[in-house]
Amino acid sequence: MNPLRAVDPDFERRVRASFGRQRFMALLGARLESLAPGRCVVRLAVRPDLAQQHGYVHAGVTSAIADSAAGYAAYSLFPADSSVLTVEFKINLLAPADAEELIARAQVIRTGRMVTVVHTDVHGLKAGVEKHVAAMQATMICLHDTPDAPATRS
């Protein structure tokens, strides 16, 4: 993997502001732990109200943080006046997410003017031990000259 370079020197502030506007991340209790050009880590403390029928974390929660991490890994590389959208993703649930915390680590594997491809691994943390619970491959698109904020609620 070649080192990736951010064209916007202020990318961290821009990405963190956008993550802060994702009200669903707040509902889940997810936080943006760390950021670098083409990389993003999102972390979540597991709660009982995030569970599926067996008491493990719902695949939708795992997908949500993996998708946000992927989107912001991509967005860190985009120009300042752009916005990011998820075109699609595919996720394999590798093991039941029986964990105290989930950590989603995203890494851009291909970036272009329009299309950026990101891989995200999600690990569950329990009693200090990490377990690989999900792997996502996602396609993001860069909307150039598009403000990254709600259009109708300024």
Residue ranges that bind a second copy, judged by CB under 8 A:
18-19, 21-28, 48-55, 58-61, 63-65, 67-68, 83, 85-96, 109-110, 114-115, 117, 119, 132, 135, 137, 139, 141, 148-153
Tokens at 79, concatenated? 């120009």
User: In angstroms, what is the minimal distance from the CB of 91 to a second copy?
Assistant: 6
Residue of 123, 124, 75 lying closest to 100 (CA atoms): 124
As a whole number of angstroms, the distance between CA 136 and CA 106 comes to: 9
CA torsion angle 16 21 24 29 (round to 10) = 50
Based on CB atoms, which residue is closest to a second copy, 68 or 76?
A: 68
Based on CB atoms, which residue is closest to a second copy, 5 or 90?
A: 90
Based on CB atoms, which residue is closest to a second copy, 9 or 154?
A: 154
Based on CB atoms, which residue is closest to a second copy, 36 or 143?
A: 143
User: In angstroms, what is the minimal distance from the CB of 21 to a second copy?
Assistant: 4
Residues 6+ apart with CB under 8 A from 69: 40, 41, 42, 104, 105, 106, 120
What single letter denotes the amino acid at residue 135?
A
